[in-house]
Amino acid sequence: MHIFKTKKELQKFLLSFTKEEKVGFVPTMGALHEGHLSIVEQSKKQCDITICSIFVNPTQFNNASDLDNYPNTLKADLEKLEQLACDIVYTPTIADLYKNGEKAKEFDFGTLTIGMEGEFRPGHFNGMATIVEKFFNIINPTKAFFGQKDLQQLQIVKALAKQMESDIQIIGIPTIREESGLAKSSRNELLSTSEKQEATLVYKCLKYCKNNQELAIPTLEKYIQEQFKNNTHFKLEYIDFVSLNTLLPITKWEAKNQNAICIAAYIEGVRLIDNIIL
């Protein structure tokens, strides 16, 4: 496994590959768990060379303490990637990617950024798109892989690739879950065993909607809000029923697989997000 700390070294190495070789790119912020690893595995299956980046991107944090507390598990991350035979890891410093004092670029993703994370994490998607655009320009992969757990991010990255007029294929990888249904996330490590058990409420609610799709959306929404109200450990931030393409709220189901239900909730101060596509 080759590890590069600068874009210059990485790009020089990439010149040794032919145009026919498919390059898969998996961007991460480290603290790798099984969800990330399944994305790397997919890239390995679909591409000839897999590059994983580990970079905690400062411009996408709307909360300074969230950035300060972001876990750094580089040694363990590299071991996990080595075990998967990931070909290249790019671990840049901030100075390799941002000019001194450089801020996030302003993007316009239309309706995609209005609600959900766009509303509750102002500036987050400009920061995320700023770094993803930089990565795409440095690596120019054939395919780039993103987890479906961050569904809004995935849809925005697809829009970004279009805006860049790039041929990069954006591939969404299904969420990996614990046996209990809880979506794998670096934040799960901050939960006790009993909190993890309680946190399964998020996926239970999403499954309830899947199993009761004959009910009207406002009825399902009310039911879920009640579930969270009845659980004093939880604070529901949002439950949104949206159209997958626009991410705008819906009150009636659209065609099959064109609807998404997205939840963000705090359990004992730990923010969890999850979603289901119906």
Longest dimension (CA), the chain: 59
Residue 126 within binding range of ligand PAF, rule CB under 6 A? no
Residue 128 within binding range of ligand PAF, rule CB under 6 A? yes
Q: Which is nearer to ligand PAF, 84 or 134 (CB)?
A: 134
Residue 150 within binding range of ligand PAF, rule CB under 6 A? yes
Q: Which is nearer to ligand PAF, 109 or 241 (CB)?
A: 109
Residue 172 within binding range of ligand PAF, rule CB under 6 A? no
- Binding window for ligand PAF (CB under 6 A); candidates: 12-20, 27-35, 98-106, 244-252: 27-35
Phi first, then psi: what are they for 172, rounded to 5°?
Answer: -90, 135
Out of 10, 23, 40, 132, point to the residue binding ligand PAF (CB under 6 A).
132
Task: Round to whole Å and give the CA distance between 35 and 39.
Answer: 7
Residue 175 within binding range of ligand PAF, rule CB under 6 A? no
Which residue type, as a one-letter code, is found at position 128? M
Q: Which residues have a Cβ under 8 Å from the Cβ of 203 and sit 6 or more positions away?
A: 177, 180, 181, 182, 183, 274
Out of 23, 86, 88, 131, point to the residue binding ligand PAF (CB under 6 A).
131
What H or E segment, with its residue span, contains residue 64?
A: helix 64-68
Q: Give the shortest CB-104-to-ligand PAF separation in angstroms.
A: 11
Q: Give the shortest CB-266-to-ligand PAF separation in angstroms.
A: 19
Residue 117 within binding range of ligand PAF, rule CB under 6 A? no
The DSSP bridge partners found for residue 53 are 27, 90
Task: Round to whole Å and give the CA distance between 261 and 116.
Answer: 11
- Per annotation, catalytic residue among 33, 36, 124, 233: 36
Phi first, then psi: what are they for 47, rounded to 5°?
Answer: -130, 165
Is 233 an annotated catalytic residue? no
Q: How many residues does the chain have?
A: 278
Taking each helix axis from N to C end, the angle separating 124-139 and 151-163, rounded to the nearest 10 degrees, works out to 50
Residue 39 within binding range of ligand PAF, rule CB under 6 A? no
- DSSP secondary-structure letter at 273? E
- Contact positions vs ligand PAF (CB under 6 A): 27-29, 57, 60, 128, 131-132, 150, 153
Catalytic residues: 36
